[in-house]
Amino acid sequence: MLRQFVPDLFVKSIFDIDLQALQARGIKGIVTDLDNTLVEWNAPDATPKLVQWLDRVREHGFQVCIVSNNDATRVESFAKPLGLPCIADAKKPRRGAFEQALAMIGANQHDTVMIGDQIFTDIAGGNRMGMFTILVAPISQEEWIGTRFTRKVEHVVLNLLRKKGLITWQR
């Protein structure tokens, strides 16, 4: 039961992801969360650093899709200027949005990574699909009120995973 919340990799930020290591694993697609994964919660635009990272991602040949539980107005207005496909109101960790994202980028679950900042939505959903999963530390403490509550439960689960030896890192 608890294993569904264990990411394959933990990094402090997306900028710490080794793109060459992903390629060596056969990864071709990247499905990523938006808020507190790519930018601070509800930040309207990509930072210059994020734009540079996305350029490097594309140079490595990865196809990217943003999958967010946030509303369509928020997600589409962020993704469109970057030329990225996106799915809003995703209802993660349900499978539907993940399957849709894979179809959009022409990938399958075995050659795609899911990157996100929450174990109950991003990591659980990616793991259920059989994707390689990467948990990043949230960029900001500012979050939607529902996420703030979930973080408290997440903290308890992460501590339990640590006690059981399923994770060794600290967020």
Residue-wise pLDDT tens digits, 31-62: 999 999 999 988 899 999 999 999 999 999 99
Residues spanned by the domain of 98: 2-163
Strand (E) or helix (H) holding 149: helix 145-163
pLDDT digits (tens, 9 = 90+) for 95-112: 999 999 999 999 999 999
Query: Residue 146: pLDDT band by 50, 70, 90 thresholds?
Result: confident
Q: Which two tokens stand for residue 97?
A: 């949005």
Contact present, 158 and 171 (Cβ < 8 Å): yes
Q: Which percentage of the chain shows pLDDT scores above 90?
A: 78
Specify if 122 maps to a domain. Answer: yes
Specify if 151 maps to a domain. Answer: yes
For residues 160 and 96, give the distance between their C-alpha atoms in angstroms, rounded to a whole number: 29
Specify if 134 maps to a domain. Answer: yes
Residue 28: which residues within 8 A CB-CB, separation 6 or more? 61, 62, 63, 107, 111, 112
